[in-house]
Amino acid sequence: MSTTLSTQGREGAKARSHEELCASAPSRLGVESSPPANTLFRQWTGPLTADLVRAPGEFGLGQVPARLKPDATTTMVCGFCSTGCGLNVHLKDGQAVNLSATSDYPVNLGMACPKGWEALTPLAAPDRATTPLLRNPATGKLEPTDWDHAMQVFTLKFKAIMDQHGPESVAFLSTGQICTEEMAFLGALWKFGMGALHCDSNTRQCMATSAVAYKQSFGFDAPPFTYADFEESDVLVFVGANPCVAHPIMWQRVLRNRRNPEIIVLDPRATETALAATQHLPLAPKSDLALLYGVAHLLIQNGWVDKEFLAAHTNGFAEFAEFVREFTPDAVAAQSGLTVGQIYRLAESVKPGKRVSFWWTMGVNQGHESTRTAQAVINLALLGGHIGKPGTGANSITGQCNAMGSRLFANVTSLLGGHDFANPEHRKKIATTLNIPESVIPMKPSLAYDQILQGVADGKIKGLWVIATNPSHSWIGKGRDGYGDTAFDTLLAKLDFLVVQDMYHTTDTALRADLVLPAAGWGEKEGTLINSERRIGLVKKVSRAPGEALADFHIFRLIAHYWGCGAMFTEWTSPEAVFQILKRCSAGQPCDITGIEDYRMLDREGGVQWPLSKEQYSVFSNQCSVGESAPERPSSLKTEHCLLNTSSRSERRLFADGQFFTPDRKAKFLFDLPREAADKPCEEFPFILLTGRGTSAQWHTLTRTGKSDILRQLAPSELLLELNPDDARRLRLRAGDTARVASRRGELTARVHVTATVRPGQVYLPMHDAATNRLTFPAFDPHSRQPSYKFCAVSVHRTDKETRR
Amino acid sequence: MRPLHQAAPWDGANPGARSLVDALLDEQRQLTAVEAFARAHERHEITEPHYRKLLPASAPRPGEQYAFEVDLDKCSGCQACVTACHSLNGLDDGEAWREVGTLFGEATMPCETGGNRVVPLQQTVTTACHHCVEPGCLEGCPVLAYDKDPLTGIVRHLDDQCIGCSYCILKCPYDVPKYSEARGIVRKCDLCHGRLAAGEAPACVQACPNEAIRISVVCVTDVVSTFRSASVEAGVKVGRCESVTASSSLSDSLTFSPAPVWLPDSPSPRITLPTTRYVSKKPAADLRAADHSLPKPQHPHWPLILMLVLTQAGIGGLLASRFVGTKSLPLELVSLAFLFAGLTASVFHLGQPLKAWRVWLGWRTSWLSREAMALNAFAGAATVAVAARWLPPLTNYYLLITLSLAAAALGAVFAQAMVYADTHRAFWSLRHTAPRFFGCVLLLGPALALALQPTAPIALALLLATLLKLGCELAVLKHADSDSDRWTQLRRTAALQTDALRPVFSVRLLAALVGGVFIPFTIATGTASSALAMSAFAVCLLGELAERYLFFTSVAPDKMPV
């Protein structure tokens, strides 16, 4: 190489700019000479220059802004999405001053998306709730009060409502954004301590479908994959998923795949991911179920199935094969708007012989028949035997940072630890584990989110407690006729008592509350989050909560005390104490985590995937003694402790043995005939409205990401309606015009963004504007009760102003 | 170390001692991460960086410099680079030196069933400072606050030298330097020079999850020949990146097939010779920014509007004073007042006015330096010219003084026009700027003279100047109507003037017609009232201010995609 280097000019430059990259880089690239001395005419240095000086940050950080140089660092898991990235928090006197992505965390390998990079900024927002706020009936305004008074009002009001209308007259709506220990405390307090029943969380809006689909098909809510599967696949099929925008760090793992993979995207829109794929199938909205059955039809017809796997590890294949006979390529092509060739190519791509993995997220989960759609994906994986092996799986990518914690430990739809409320043995086990009377554990299931709100509309639910979620922004079909004739804006006014527990007193929902409880946020408390690949990660206290804001955990402790059921929770003194309780609850379950010692072990290992039972732990411990080198992991991922530090242990998948969690250990084929979506386009409302994420810099209802100047800059400043050029021409709308978008339930105005990434007859709106859900249609999957955010009929018109032009 | 299991020190059985609320509030205020998880801060070693292969092997040699290289096929638009730049460089709220934009388009692809089908295209583009071979910012800076490092080619901004004139923002085709209101200076990307020197990657390179950004070493003459060769046209260009084959030890191949030499729908690289290399294996396509047909009014720069119009009024008045005979003193004094008022107004444009005395330093390349010098020279000459009537030795040189005054005026106004022409924006080219600036002198000079001496010849001069200037100004509107899909800079300007800026445009037109045509015509045809003449000047001045407002707000430079 040195010979090529000796040539100057064009040829030399070519060689140098690329060929040398593979040579080992020297430690320094040029000399950073000290700047020339200031002269009368030229000031090279001074106070303004000093503001930007960078200095070695130490702690393996490289250079950092000199004025933010840390005196310690610590790694914690990000609190936005379910990817669960490790963030290296830079600390000064114990307080977070900056952060960067952790390079030795097995999830993100030194990377983060904009939300992660800005995770600390929303903590410092001026509209943080700093004291409890109580609405003064005289003035109608929220006024500061103290915790003692707030707690007395809370208990008085809820007890009064429950005394008068029974325990089923109150409900809580919680979140996938708080720690597992907090969710468990809330669920236990509500059902066992306070004797209430109805509760749900916003995970209903994003993950309920996956949970139900897995539970029915595999016998347990068990996403089987590890992120390493992104790198190990030959074929990746993304169904209703746009990881480029929604999960950028998962897309990073896809791009690290060195097997030259086929990347297939099923999405009505030409999303960023679709455009980066090798096959994009722009199927008609909500034709996904028929299409997936059609692919199954082709696989079975051509014998592209793993017969041994089907026979040994599945139930219902014969019935399924019979069922999909009618989903012929021609019929499915007509329904989905795809060509027979496209469908055939998709089927051929996922036949056995290669490592095929299927990945779905909200495009599947938020549908009117979403559970069967998710199971149609699972069925395809079962047909090819694409499960339990590297680079395979029917994999649900979760939404929120702790949706997975909620699914197992929130005590909402399943009893603590993925148990069944209806199962007497499970109730007994949990009662014994928690040392509580079995009688306090309800047998009845709770109402789902939409049923709770319907209960509010019907006057049956009188008291509502909203924790770290914002339904006034995010709930579906908020326009007129959403609930009978009730629009969401007036729905909450029907309540006798609305409590909102949140970091901010300014969320759309908090503004309507009777009582606001100020909560500490991510980074201001301890606890664990469980990510999409079942990895339990740690949240640490690196920032002081403002004013009298308290961790949700502390608030639940207070409520238990004031309610008078504190005795039931004497052991629930700290998040880590509750973690120990949850370990005991998980014993013997598929999600057994009894092998995790404590928080320090989670910290040491870069998070631990469930399951890790005591038995697995001792096997791993025996296999390697402390100090042994770790051959399977790159040196950059070295950890001091070697328990899990080989990739085979730190990145584990389920079902390698083909044993599922059903009673007969076999996976089930589940299917149903597709049904048409209810809110169909017509002459008056000719367009189909699709909704979803806007940019990687926005999170849900923007209560946090909206607080960061830089994140706000990375997102459009106004609501953009994506419209196909053909439709734009027909409607005489140009880019930048204002359009009125209306559904049968409500309307909004949006700036027109003309792009061929949406197909004619379809429009797209991001979900981050509260107005979007005035339009959506409240349809729900019958199994998961998940709302169908991605299909409703709308009209698009020029506004009066544009008409004049 | 306090074990985490331990609860807040509160004894429930003895509630008199301490309330649970107080205990929990106390506990909430303790920060425990360092205490409980001591591991991390015991480790000081730098782990082997993941970005090693994204850096060149050695520093540039003579004739070479560092450059960003962006693999467009890997950029997924996640914008992590922007936030990492913000965080790892400790920038102000909302400040970042990198931006991500998106280009949209359609392509026709052969269909499997025969025929063609149209498929949508979308390309996200990450951009930062291009550390140009001929940096517009550096050449335009009047105080030498930019330095192109001779060894690395990094274009650095000297924050403490900056006077906050913002001219570099106009000079940079890529809108890279950003003005900080709070600090009164601009700041920009420095390619994390200190990190590079220490063998570390710049923040954006470190943070890109897809390894789309790398640092390479480019040959300067290469950049020149690529962008200045005849085949490279402004706008969309299809060309061939150098075919470069990496050695096999690099995991991903770096062989690039035909790719855009530069980005579509973005400023021409010929102006400043950007060094960033955008590479892609995808075929070149006709992509547009989302706001391609959506021009937005630009910043009006009020101090500059005032400075230009008032100095030009002063120059015009002083020149006119040489032609109106012996009773010219009031006109001279009023004109001087306008001139100095204009010079004063310019100071309000600066973020660091106390450092403005260095404004001449950049005279070798900066038209702003030259403008400042020429204007001050004119102001000196004008003062001498006015003072001459009291200085007997000079009274004999009336013609000479007039000629030097005219020469100084010509130089000053030409320099003023060149400040804008040198930004390479179509609407600010000399062709559009010179008639406006010289026209303003020729219009407000007579208007000022008329206000003090309402005579028919002066009125006619004003009328003539107005008609000529208006004609030149309206010429740009011919670009407005076009059926073409493609928007040129001048089409955007015309669209802005007739649409978003229509009210100002109407004021401008009305003012010219009333103050520059109707009233002078009335005066020339007999009704010479002093009040009318004064009002003519006032209306003309208003018209010129509106014209200059349009000059600044309706300029529509090509820009990087948003």
Q: Give DSSP secondary structure letters for A184-242.
A: HHHHHIIIIIS---EEEETHHHHTHHHHHHHHHHHSS------THHHHH-SEEEEES--
Q: Rounded mean pLDDT of A416-439? A: 96
Say if residue A596's pLDDT is above 70.
yes
Q: Rounded mean pLDDT of B142-160? A: 96
Q: Rounded mean pLDDT of B435-456? A: 95
In the structure, what pLDDT confidence band is assigned to residue B5 with cuts at 50, 70 and 90?
A: very low
Residues in A 293-352 with any Cβ partner in B closer than 8 A:
339, 341-342
CB contact under 8 A, B28 and A549: yes
Per-residue model confidence (pLDDT) at position B33: 85
Residue of chain A minimizing CA distance to B97: A710
Secondary structure class of A297 (helix, strand, coil): helix
Q: Rounded mean pLDDT of B334-360? A: 96
Say if residue A635's pLDDT is above 50.
no
B483 at A interface, C-beta within 8 A: no
Q: Rounded mean pLDDT of A398-408? A: 95
Per-residue model confidence (pLDDT) at position B437: 98
Say if residue B129's pLDDT is above 90.
yes
Q: How many CB pairs under 8 A join A and B?
A: 393
Per-residue model confidence (pLDDT) at position B526: 82
Min distance B414 CA to chain A CA atoms (Å): 27
CB contact under 8 A, A695 and B79: yes
Say if residue A13's pLDDT is above 50.
no
Residues in A 561-580 with any Cβ partner in B closer than 8 A:
561, 566, 570, 573-577, 580
Per-residue model confidence (pLDDT) at position A98: 96
Q: Rounded mean pLDDT of A115-123? A: 97
Q: What tokens does B148 get?
A: 């192109």
Per-residue model confidence (pLDDT) at position B46: 60
pLDDT digit string (tens) for A380-395?
A: 999 999 999 999 999 9
Secondary structure class of A628 (helix, strand, coil): coil
Say if residue A675's pLDDT is above 90.
yes
User: CA separation (Å) from B63 to A8, A494, B60, B212, B222?
Assistant: 8, 75, 8, 26, 10
Per-residue model confidence (pLDDT) at position B106: 85
Say if residue A32's pLDDT is above 80.
no
Which chain B residues contact residue A74 at CB under 8 A? 33-34, 37, 40-41
Q: Rounded mean pLDDT of A369-376? A: 98
Task: Tell me the average pLDDT of chain B.
Answer: 88
Is the ipTM here above 0.95? no
Residue B454 per-residue DSSP state: -
Task: Give the H/E segment covering residue A710.
Answer: helix A709-713
CB contact under 8 A, B34 and A91: yes
Q: What tokens does A114 get?
A: 């904009």
Residue of chain B minimizing CA distance to A45: B160
B357 at A interface, C-beta within 8 A: no
Residue of chain B minimizing CA distance to A250: B209
CB contact under 8 A, A561 and B12: yes
| Cβ atoms of residues B127 and B99 within 8 Å | yes
Distance CA B319, CA B335 (A): 9
Task: Tell me the average pLDDT of chain A.
Answer: 91
Residues above pLDDT 70, as percent of chain A: 91
Q: Rounded mean pLDDT of A229-238? A: 97
CB contact under 8 A, A117 and B250: no
Instruction: Tell me if the pTM is above 0.90.
Output: yes
A48 versus A24: the higher-pLDDT residue is A48
Residues in A 235-254 with any Cβ partner in B closer than 8 A:
244-245, 248-249, 251-252
CB contact under 8 A, A94 and B31: yes
The closest CB to that of B183, out of A16, A48, A117, belongs to A48
Say if residue B190's pLDDT is above 90.
yes
Per-residue model confidence (pLDDT) at position A575: 97
Residues in A 265-294 with any Cβ partner in B closer than 8 A:
270, 272-273, 275-276
Pair type for strands A314-315 and A279-281: unpaired
Which chain A residues contact residue B120 at CB under 8 A? 270, 275, 755-757
Per-residue model confidence (pLDDT) at position A485: 57
Distance CA B367, CA A184 (A): 69
Residues above pLDDT 90, as percent of chain B: 70
Task: Please report which residue ranges of B241-391 form alpha helices under DSSP H.
Answer: 302-321, 329-347, 367-387
User: CA separation (Å) from A655 to A82, A146, A317, A464, B257?
Assistant: 22, 52, 18, 40, 43
Say if residue A235's pLDDT is above 50.
yes
Task: Please report which residue ranges of B3-79 form alpha helices under DSSP H.
Answer: 20-29, 33-36, 39-42
A184 at B interface, C-beta within 8 A: no
Say if residue B17's pLDDT is above 70.
no
Per-residue model confidence (pLDDT) at position B396: 79
CB contact under 8 A, A255 and B209: yes
Residues in A 579-608 with any Cβ partner in B closer than 8 A:
580, 598-600, 603-604
Per-residue model confidence (pLDDT) at position B232: 47
A629 at B interface, C-beta within 8 A: no
Distance CA A130, CA A636 (A): 42
CB contact under 8 A, A29 and B162: no
| Cβ atoms of residues A741 and A763 within 8 Å | yes
Distance CA A346, CA A380 (A): 11
In the structure, what pLDDT confidence band is assigned to residue A23 with cuts at 50, 70 and 90?
A: very low
Say if residue B112's pLDDT is above 90.
no
What is the CA A310 to chain-centroid distance, rounded? 32
A207 at B interface, C-beta within 8 A: no
Say if residue A10's pLDDT is above 60.
no
CB contact under 8 A, B218 and A17: yes
The closest CB to that of B40, out of A43, A48, A72, belongs to A72
Say if residue B257's pLDDT is above 50.
no
CB contact under 8 A, A551 and B159: no
Residues in B 136-165 with any Cβ partner in A closer than 8 A:
144, 151-152, 158-162
Residue of chain A minimizing CA distance to B277: A17
Q: Rounded mean pLDDT of A596-610? A: 93
Name the residue type at position A791.
F
Q: Rounded mean pLDDT of A784-797? A: 97
| Cβ atoms of residues B387 and B336 within 8 Å | no
CB contact under 8 A, A251 and B206: no
Per-residue model confidence (pLDDT) at position A11: 37
Min distance B355 CA to chain A CA atoms (Å): 10
Per-residue model confidence (pLDDT) at position B231: 52
Min distance B283 CA to chain A CA atoms (Å): 14
Per-residue model confidence (pLDDT) at position B10: 52
pLDDT digit string (tens) for B59-70?
A: 999 999 999 999
Distance CA A496, CA B143 (A): 68
Residue of chain B minimizing CA distance to A525: B28
Min distance A238 CA to chain B CA atoms (Å): 16
B11 at A interface, C-beta within 8 A: no
Which chain B residues contact residue A540 at CB under 8 A? 32-33, 36-37
Residue of chain B minimizing CA distance to A578: B5
Q: Rounded mean pLDDT of A524-531? A: 97
pLDDT digit string (tens) for B372-386?
A: 999 999 999 999 999
Per-residue model confidence (pLDDT) at position A488: 79
